[in-house]
Amino acid sequence: MKERAYAKINLSLDVVKRRDDGYHELNMIMVPLEFYDVLSMEISDEMSMESNAGYLPKTEKNTIIKAIEVLRKEYGFKENFKIVLQKHIPTQAGLAGGSADAAAAIRLIKRLLKINMSKEKMIELAKKVGADVPFCCINKPALVSGIGEKIIPFEAITDFYVLLVKPYKGVSTKTAFEMLDFETAYHPDCLQMKQALEMGDYEEIIHALGNTLEQPSFKLVPEIAKIKERLIELGMDGVLMSGSGSTVFGLTQSEECLDNAAKEIKKIASFIRKTKIRDKNR
């Protein structure tokens, strides 16, 4: 049985405050992309995992294994699984690649074992695996808050292309949060972005782009800022870093601009992908 694990970007990310429990209170507009890993799972006598990405651990440090064990603890099943992962989403990229894989594993186990799991229960369990996993379980444009567990999906009109560009170096999410200076940080208006997406107002979508975590991530990986500047020079209407980075995305309604920027940016990037925001009707 196969499942697509869709990448995401944050069109708006506001780190509101540090919480007493060590986490951060967030407001985000997250959208899934037409770009995904493919996860296959079937019931087997023994646990096994194969992947085209040999660098991935095969312990509970792997989000797929962690998701299985969270569900095993909750539901008490004894089954093991043969897992095959075709990895396309880069790591340390701000695209939720690991979270998307975990969410796909949760959906697959629900189907394989015919578990009666409500959406609310799925989100509760997904939160135990990682902060972005609840959103990746839903896979719809959403206003996401708390530490990622409060999700309000909405309909979005997204008539534009997305160019993903990742520099050679990744960003540690933990370090980016630790380095955040709240006195000078930019706090975008996520509700403004939500309204712009619902109305399909492209100019307002561009205007509402913002990410509090760009500030520390630019210091950690200066190449992020260089890629952002270059994409603007190449004619992208809006450019932003996704999550804590290090992927930068550019938005354009012009396929010619998209193709030209993808060609030119190759010189300073380790990964480039032309895509669109996922449309549930496609």
pLDDT tens for each residue of 197-209: 999 999 999 999 9
Kindly tell me if the per-residue pLDDT of 58 is higher than 60.
yes
What pLDDT band is residue 60 in, cutting at 50, 70 and 90? confident
Domain boundaries, the chain: 2-153, 161-275
CATH of domain 161-275: 3.30.70.890
Q: What is the pLDDT of residues 66-81, one digit of tens each?
A: 999 999 999 999 999 9
Kindly tell me if the per-residue pLDDT of 282 is higher than 60.
no
pLDDT, position 266: 92
- Distance CA(157)–CA(164), nearest Å, equals 20
Backbone angles phi, psi at 150, to 5 degrees: -95, 115
pLDDT, position 183: 84
Identified catalytic residue from 8, 66, 127, 166: 8
Catalytic status, residue 78? no
Identified catalytic residue from 87, 132, 166, 194: 132
Going 108 to 173 to 13 to 237, the CA torsion angle's sign is negative
Non-local CB neighbours of 89 within 8 Å, separated by 6+ positions: 5, 7, 35, 36, 37, 95, 96, 97, 100
Kindly tell me if the per-residue pLDDT of 281 is higher than 70.
no
Write the single-letter amino acid at 87: K
2-153 folds as Ribosomal Protein S5; domain 2 (3.30.230)
Q: What is the pLDDT of residues 85-137, one digit of tens each?
A: 999 999 989 999 999 999 999 999 999 999 999 999 999 999 999 999 999 99
pLDDT, position 142: 98
- Distance CA(246)–CA(218), nearest Å, equals 9
Mean pLDDT, residues 206-229: 97
Round the average pLDDT of the chain to a whole number and report it.
95
Write the single-letter amino acid at 7: A
> What dihedral do alpha carbons 84, 54, 98, 20 form, nearest 10°?
140
Closest CA to 24 of 180, 170, 158: 180
Kindly tell me if the per-residue pLDDT of 264 is higher than 60.
yes
Mean pLDDT, residues 172-188: 91
pLDDT, position 256: 98
Catalytic status, residue 132? yes
Mean pLDDT, residues 197-225: 97
Q: What is the DSSP letter of 130?
A: -
pLDDT, position 44: 97
For residue 87, the surrounding DSSP H or E stretch is none
